[in-house]
């Protein structure tokens, strides 16, 4: 796929994931932010991030990051840093209200 075509498709998927995640964050200090639009496959073959949605959680020194990612763990949208209590609330809503499954592998995040 040509780079610009893959990028346009990926950007749309990122925007959709960002809008989706924003619905579950009721916090003035945190916002859903865009992440990665293209798969990092270390070749010259360009592919957009996957269409499917999973949620992933990354624990850091400052709290918890929540990501909407594809089946390969490539983050399309992220929101950070949450307390454990707020993370659990958002996670529960993603599971029950959105029927999302958790991605349990390593999540690819923007650097």
Q: Are strands 54-60 and 33-34 parallel, antiparallel or unpaired?
A: unpaired
Q: Which tens digits make up the pLDDT trace of 2-54?
A: 999 999 999 999 999 999 999 999 766 679 999 999 997 778 889 999 999 99
Plot region of 107 (φ>0 → left; ψ -120 to 50 → alpha; else → beta): beta
CA distance 39 to 19: 20
Report the first-to-last Cα separation within the chain, whole angstroms.
Answer: 24
Ordered by start, the domain boundaries in the chain are: 3-96
CA distance 17 to 79: 11
Tokens 């949620």: give the residue: 55
Tokens of 108: 């690819």
CA distance 53 to 99: 10
Q: Which tens digits make up the pLDDT trace of 52-108?
A: 999 999 999 999 999 999 999 999 999 999 999 999 999 999 999 999 999 999 999
């Amino acid at each position: 796929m040509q780079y610009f075509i893959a990028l346009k498709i990926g950007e749309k998927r990122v925007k959709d994931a960002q809008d989706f995640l924003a619905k579950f964050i009721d916090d003035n200090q945190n916002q859903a932010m865009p992440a990665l639009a293209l798969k990092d496959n270390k070749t010259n073959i360009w592919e957009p991030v996957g269409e499917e949605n999973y949620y992933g959680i990354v624990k850091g020194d400052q709290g918890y990051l929540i990501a909407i990612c594809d089946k390969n763990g490539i983050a399309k949208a992220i929101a950070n840093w949450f307390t454990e209590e707020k993370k659990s609330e958002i996670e529960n809503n993603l599971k029950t209200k959105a029927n999302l499954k958790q991605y349990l592998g390593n999540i690819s995040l923007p650097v």
